[in-house]
Structure 1
Amino acid sequence: MIAVGLAVSLISMALLGHEILLMRLLSIAQWHHFAGMIISLALLGLGAAGTFNTLFQKWLIPRFHRVFCLNAILFGLALPTTVGAARLVPLNPLEILWDPRQWLYLFQTYLILILPFFFGGNCLSLALARFKENIHRVYFFDLLGAGLGALGIVLLLFVLPPWECPPILSMAGFAAAGLVLLNERGRRFRMAGIFTILCGAVFPLIWPQGGAFPNVSPYKGLSAALLSPGARIVAERTSPLGWLAVVESPVIPFRHAPGMSLHCTAEPPAQLGIFVDGDSMSPITRFDGNPTSLAFLDCLTSALPFHLLKNPRVLVLGAGGGMDVLTARLNGARTVDAVELDANVISLVGDTFGEYSGRLYGDEKVRLHAADARSFLSRTDTTFDLIQVSLLDSFTASATGGHALSESYLYTVEALTDAYRRLAPGGCLAVTRWLKVPPRDSLKLFATAVQALERSSVASPQGQMALIRSWSTTTLLVKKGELSGKDLERIRGFCAERAFDIDFRPGLEPGETNRFNVLDEPYLSEGAQALIGERRKEFMERYKFAIEPATDDRPYFLHFFKWRTLPEILSARGRGGLPLMEWGYPVLVMTLIQAVALSLALILVPLFFLERERSAGMNGGRIAVYFSALGFAFLFMEMAFIQKLILFLGHPIYAASVVIAGFLVFAGLGSRCVAVLSRAMTPNGPNGNVVTILVAAAVVVILSVLYVIFIPGLFGRLASAGDPVRIVVSLVLIALLAFPMGMPFPLGLKMLGESQPACIPWAWAINGCTSVLATVLASLLAIHLGFNAVVIFAAALYGVAAMSARGLPHRNPAANVRE
């Protein structure tokens, strides 16, 4: 059992690692939301494996060792081969509405990427069916391996780029097969096991491709940049945060100055471009020490606050290539605190291209912080005269809705409230966004700022806000205090000299707006006036795009999609209307529809087979409800707590690793202990498993409600604590919840194993399919209702599972549980 258990752990470890790798690779090749759609459907391979084993278990289970080994080896081989094969498919999801071939390419991609999950799922499903008397142990090894995989893949991505990792993961498949062979009696099997393990050890060395680099979408910024004559990648860095590529274009140099005034006579110097996952370009500007070479920076809308403040103490959130830091230095900033999440970006700007950038980050006035921007805001005690946030995503990704489903905690009501608190009296918060027509980002940001000021007990937010616009960018200015007459005069002068439009300021006259960069209608000024007025809610409901303020509970700042606008956009696609489409949300719904259709097929087909061949009196409905509820509930809870801990731990990678690993490992420990708990709760009764399920579900429900109520206050009090303290607190909170969460699934399987063992693979298929659906549905619920609602739904589903457990077929479970 130990050898099989370790083999199960290795398969689970590689499966989770491969899932994360695919997300990274597809995010580089496409965008995050398309990557999520493709992977969600590929993960249905786990459900397909359960269905396959349900239909053919009479033949498979007696040949367990041989079938397990074959699938483990095929799993190991499929990890790198499917990645390489998928890159040969000319899939471009952005063309799916006008090129029917893309649907075929999408289907081909599904079929290719589903294979590793199918082979790995076969191993896990077979192990559960074969060792039904030790299901709690098998499930423990499954979750333990998955938890280690969550940590291991993050560590591996610090060492290797994602496209070189699949052959490394293949070693786990070969090792799993070898362990099972070593467990067989006979010298022949032992020799075969040793040989298989050795093959796995050398596999990464002999794999001919050496890694399949993803084909980056032609619509991404990197692809467009490399079309310039002589353009080339001069440096690369990879980490779990992303793939960084620095591009030099000597013939047609980068001169990135977004929204630069058309009256500006200063030419930007040559630049290098840092691209993150093939997009979101941040420039490294050549600086030779001569301030006049940076005069163009004063021609951007983001320079406005420096005309209101003298020698400010500046905080730059999202420093990137350093353009905002240069702007601060050019305008005589007393100090500059530059916050950048990715340490590789800091290294590229400060070290690799330090001479090119004029030792930008080596200046004694500049203090660097490798940290999450929102986390830094929450924890710092320093006050600043200016907090600057400028264009943290690319125009292409912003325009296509490339980040519509990405959680952003820097543009929420709570984030702007934190920023406002960190301002010194008279200080300014300046946020620059891309201009879209009709406006989306700018109006949503404005509404979010108004609510943040109201939460900060500002009686008249309109007296502290100004919104200006160039031909491609907008800058929102929020002052800690009333904008004075002198401030307003400086804003007017700044905009008039540079032909920028003022869309909002205190006392704005109708004739002052929409003068230079003329829109068909004064959308921004009219929208801003409506958002500051009493009919704000009515305006947001009537507006064609979703511009309600983002919050920490619903952190989807870049989600603007409304269903009622879709027919209008589609009708205008022949007239260039598709750029108005925010792709993220429709793709998510499309994923859910596809996943539901495939899941129903995978679940219903074996149900008919079981009823016809094996299941006189089988309560298929109860079984389906029980395992479906558990599949939804576990993933709902896990995804919600990843988001809640991102802010507390201060780093998305740390949060995801701690939560996923913590949930899986502690749930595995809960699974391992169910036998003891079941006997302890009803030592002489026949329903120990049912009672244990009811108690575990009750604990989960109670803790979930308590966490929703009390965790925000607890995290607020511990926000300034050190990393070790916050990680320990997070793991304790996770352990208390995950331990009982790990009990209902193996107990349900054990009850089936005692009365309807043929249903075990089917239950695995149900749980696997609903887990995939849960990842999609949780995002939809969070967008509309918030993550607190996702937690409450999860708790309710545990209640549903507990109630349906009474109807599961079972015998006297306590008497037969082995330790």
Structure 2
Amino acid sequence: MRFWPLFLVSAAAVGMETALTRYFAVANWSDYGYWVISIVMVGFALSGVVLALGQGRLQRHAAGLFATLPALLCLSAALGYAGVIVNPFNPLALQNPDTYAPQLGLIALYYVALLPFFFLTGLYVSLCFATNATRVGAVYAADLLGAGLGSVLVLGLMYLVSPFALIPYLLPLLALAALGAGRLRKRAGAAALVALLAGEALLGLGPQAAISQYKPIYPPLHTPGAKVLATVHSPRGEYMLLDDFTERVNTDISNNSGMMGYPSPPRSYGLYRDGIRIASLPMPGVGAQTGYALGALDALPYTLRPHPDTLLIGASGGMRIAETRALGAGPLTALEPDPVLYQALREGLDGSPPVPSAPDLRIFNDNPRAVVTPGAGYDVIDISADFLDEAPANVYAVSAQAFAADLAALSYNGVLSVPVSIQDFPAYALRMMATMREALILRGVADPGAHLILYRSAWNARLLASPAPFTAADIAAAAKWCNDRSFDISYYQGFDAVAARSNLYNDLPAVSFTDGTMDTQGDDDSLADEAPGVLAGQVTPSSSAFDLRPVTDDRPAFYAILRLSQLKLLLARLQILPQAEIGALVNLAVLAQAVIIAALVLLVPLAAPRRARQGHEVLRPAVYFSVLALGFLFLELFAIERASLVLDDRAMGFSLVLGAMLVFSGLGSFVSGRIANATAAMRLAWVAVALWGVAMLWLSGTAALAAGGLPLVLRVGLIVLCLAPVSFAMGLPFPLGLRQLRGEFFLPWAWGLNGAFSVVATPFANLLLRTIGLHAVLGGAVLLYTIAALSFPALEGQIAWTPFLKRSAAAD
């Protein structure tokens, strides 16, 4: 209870970090949320450096600082958020070599706006360590438990208010911390109240956050007569249902639809999440207008397998259900994991009617990996075109293991239909083929090429796969169907790409990513040219330029085909890179900055007077606290990815893992203060982490899939139960290490190292996941904790330096 003010400050700080991350996801793009993590940890690192180099001056004035900081935190939080709101950063200009320079200055302004708050927060936390050096376990416990509360609090608020309105709810926590200022409580409370009122007034009356004009929702939202019919607040995202004359059913239609008597897609409502369109919802009376579906790119499977028993993965707000019924689907099972879209299917959503019930229609909101079972006997499994981009966790539905499970759930000659956009890079279709090839191999298929058909329009492609080889009759029917609708076949076994050029409807020339030149011989189909090589596992022009390795459960990022080793080339082609690929470059930029900062923090002892170091060994603490920060974040990222697979929801997975790990780590830190033998306790913590890591390496994938079909409450409980023991163990090493240090220099320096290397950990772990796989992240965490155990500061029995407040009182 002594440290409840620290508890509140930590809760507000993590809440602000989460709220700012959500701000960037809605106002700009989620990838730029990495800056927030960087700014937070840079602030913490700088606070440790300042305190370490201050040689005890700040510690001697700790009572006054504890009374002043809550008011300063309130003001800096409000001013920082206002500064973020008015920043005119343009993400599109950042990708243009001719206009990116001013954007770098605007990014720097984000740091200027937010760094003061997180520096002051770090100063508050490090002062708590400095003035309670004999109780570092309790201090760290209050810090972690408060952070856990902050993550849970913001998660709950996301159900109630807009992401733009989260931060005003956090300022009172900072103001309340002033009541813990001891004999200065009244003065501190009055200052904090004034700061709170000023901050709330600024956020309420000052500049207001809005969706960037560069987000897809902005143009339709600002057309005449546009109306927002519904807004749904959720940790998954901010949903908006838009009624606008430009909104139509989003499907790829044949150029020959009019000649064949098919109508155009009807008007619809547009459902947007975080400003990005994810589905078309039917307008009243429009659900029956489905004649256009006969001319859609995704209709071919229903011609090859008439009246099929169908599994539809992603219902697109109900439009795909109506379309597949119009195409003659027999018994239909539809999966819609997104809770808002599922509600729209079942109950309607503010004007959009629900899907009419039918005896042969079943609708579930389950994870596809939990519903698809071997031997189900579906004739068609159809993945909707917008499903992959509907939610981040849906990427697990297009891994090689997921496709293998889908194939096992088909009848012998059933068809799995998988969409892929080729609008940005046709290479995405080749990566999908490589992934499906791997899935067929996992199913024991010796000749994957005989089981595949690839066809396309100018913008999208569909890959059809079957447990049985496609017959000559199947291929002939597919060729006629495509020819009638001006679609092009790009692959089937025996396909003659050269001969097909004489009757090509949609030109798709090969464009060199290396030099930007177009290699054309008249009408071209670059997919047809490279598909045989991809299926044979050979090097092709695209595989040389892009990473076309199969998507797997261990390496689940589908939009990750850029070769980061070619950084100079990527920067030269920055203007044409898809938005989904930008996150990797942001990670690289943050990592480069983080490495420089971490190196500077490591070198701080060189700037400190020899007397401040008190003869203390520097190398072991430097290694110890650096690898601890890396290891904790590595293991956290691994747990978030696995929880996202279990919950089929990355936002919930992130919040649950973060909250559970912080709470149980806090309990471990609290217990650390009662442990006499710190070295033995550190070794036990390392053993616990190592054993847990080995178990997760072998079991986590299988366990995650097995748990996917359980009720949500049980899945949440299992995740918490799995994280509790390892998180408890991970809460021990940091306070145990701090107990081994002496002097007013080393304790804040260790805190600074923890912050600096936490900045390094997040982008580094994300890049490892992208390029090598999740097993590398988990293995790296175990290796880092092993290094920590070997470098544990060997000063057992020596108590850290005397708290300055007590020393000053004794002197008086």
Please report the TM-score for the alignment, with normalisation by the length of structure 2: 0.89
Instruction: Kindly provide the CA deviation profile for residues 254-297 of structure 1, in whole angstroms up to 9, marking residues without a partner as x.
Output: 23444321111122211221111111342224362674x32222
Residue number in structure 1 paired with 2:414: 427
1:799 aligns with 2:786: yes
**Whole-angstrom CA distance in 2 between matches of 1:722 and 1:283:** 29
Residue number in structure 1 paired with 2:333: 337
Give the C-alpha shift of residue 551 in structure 1: 0.8
Instruction: Kindly provide the CA deviation profile for residues 424-466 of structure 1, in whole angstroms up to 9, marking residues without a partner as x.
Output: 3332211112113651221111110111011011232222211
TM alignment of 1:404-419, pairs within 5 A: 408-419=395-406
Instruction: Specify the SS of the correspondent of 1:474.
Output: strand
Q: Does the 8 Å CA contact 2:235/2:652 hold for their aligned counterparts? A: no
Q: Does the 8 Å CA contact 1:28/1:278 hold for their aligned counterparts? A: yes
Label 1:61 to 1:569 Cα distance change in 2 as closer, same or farther (>3 A): closer
In structure 2, give the amino acid aligned to 1:522: D
Instruction: Specify the SS of the correspondent of 2:540.
Output: helix
**Whole-angstrom CA distance in 2 between matches of 1:353 and 1:806:** 60
Residue number in structure 2 paired with 1:526: 529
Residue number in structure 1 paired with 2:230: 235
In structure 2, give the amino acid aligned to 1:86: V
Instruction: Specify the SS of the correspondent of 1:614.
Output: helix
Residue number in structure 2 paired with 1:736: 725
Residue number in structure 1 paired with 2:513: none
In structure 1, give the amino acid aligned to 2:248: R
**In terms of mean alpha carbon deviation, does 540-549 or 449-458 score higher?**
540-549
Label 1:276 to 1:785 Cα distance change in 2 as closer, same or farther (>3 A): same
Instruction: Specify the SS of the correspondent of 2:265.
Output: coil
Instruction: Kindly provide the CA deviation profile for residues 598-640 of structure 1, in whole angstroms up to 9, marking residues without a partner as x.
Output: 3333443x42332455124232222211110100011101111
**Whole-angstrom CA distance in 2 between matches of 1:580 and 1:105:** 19
**Whole-angstrom CA distance in 2 between matches of 1:676 and 1:127:** 19
Q: Does the 8 Å CA contact 1:630/1:767 hold for their aligned counterparts? A: yes
1:768 aligns with 2:775: no
TM alignment of 1:113-132, pairs within 5 A: 113-132=114-133
Q: Does the 8 Å CA contact 2:74/2:192 hold for their aligned counterparts? A: no
Instruction: Specify the SS of the correspondent of 2:674.
Output: helix
**Whole-angstrom CA distance in 1 between matches of 2:93 and 2:409:** 45
In structure 2, give the amino acid aligned to 1:586: L
**Whole-angstrom CA distance in 2 between matches of 1:566 and 1:197:** 48
Residue number in structure 1 paired with 2:300: 304
Of 246, 255, 262, the residue aligned with 1:262 is: 255
1:386 aligns with 2:380: yes
Of 764, 768, 772, the residue aligned with 1:777 is: 764
**Whole-angstrom CA distance in 1 between matches of 2:484 and 2:284:** 25
TM alignment of 1:22-33, pairs within 5 A: 22-33=20-31
Give the C-alpha shift of residue 177 in structure 1: 1.7
TM alignment of 1:669-680, pairs within 5 A: 669-677=667-675, 679=676
Residue number in structure 2 paired with 1:271: 268
Label 1:81 to 1:364 Cα distance change in 2 as closer, same or farther (>3 A): farther
Residue number in structure 1 paired with 2:485: 498
Instruction: Kindly provide the CA deviation profile for residues 449-496 of structure 1, in whole angstroms up to 9, marking residues without a partner as x.
Output: 111011011232222211110011101111232323332222112101
What is the aligned-residue identity percentage?
A: 27
Residue number in structure 2 paired with 1:318: 314
Label 1:287 to 1:581 Cα distance change in 2 as closer, same or farther (>3 A): closer
Residue number in structure 1 paired with 2:152: 151
Residue number in structure 1 paired with 2:458: 471
**Whole-angstrom CA distance in 2 between matches of 1:260 and 1:37:** 40
**Whole-angstrom CA distance in 2 between matches of 1:469 and 1:61:** 68
**Whole-angstrom CA distance in 2 between matches of 1:61 and 1:732:** 40
Residue number in structure 1 paired with 2:810: none
Please report the TM-score for the alignment, with normalisation by the length of structure 1: 0.88
Structure 2 residue runs without a partner (length 5+): 510-523, 804-812
Give the C-alpha shift of residue 323 in structure 1: 2.7
Report how many aligned residue pairs link the two structures: 780
Label 1:727 to 1:406 Cα distance change in 2 as closer, same or farther (>3 A): closer
Give the C-alpha shift of residue 87 in structure 1: 1.5
Instruction: Kindly provide the CA deviation profile for residues 156-178 of structure 1, in whole angstroms up to 9, marking residues without a partner as x.
Output: 11111111110111111111222
**Whole-angstrom CA distance in 1 between matches of 2:646 and 2:480:** 43
TM alignment of 1:96-245, pairs within 5 A: 96=94, 97-99=97-99, 100-178=101-179, 180-181=180-181, 184-185=182-183, 189-192=184-187, 209=204, 214-245=209-240
Label 1:163 to 1:437 Cα distance change in 2 as closer, same or farther (>3 A): closer
Q: Does the 8 Å CA contact 1:91/1:102 hold for their aligned counterparts? A: yes
Of 638, 641, 646, the residue aligned with 2:639 is: 641
Label 1:13 to 1:568 Cα distance change in 2 as closer, same or farther (>3 A): closer
Label 1:173 to 1:66 Cα distance change in 2 as closer, same or farther (>3 A): same
Residue number in structure 2 paired with 1:587: 586
**In terms of mean alpha carbon deviation, does 304-313 or 545-554 score higher?**
304-313
Instruction: Kindly provide the CA deviation profile for residues 337-359 of structure 1, in whole angstroms up to 9, marking residues without a partner as x.
Output: 333333223335654557555x4
Residue number in structure 2 paired with 1:682: none
In structure 2, give the amino acid aligned to 1:385: D
Q: What root-mean-square deviation, in Å, do the aligned CA atoms of Structure 1 and Structure 2 show?
A: 3.1
1:248 aligns with 2:233: no
**Whole-angstrom CA distance in 2 between matches of 1:20 and 1:580:** 22
**Whole-angstrom CA distance in 1 between matches of 2:702 and 2:219:** 47
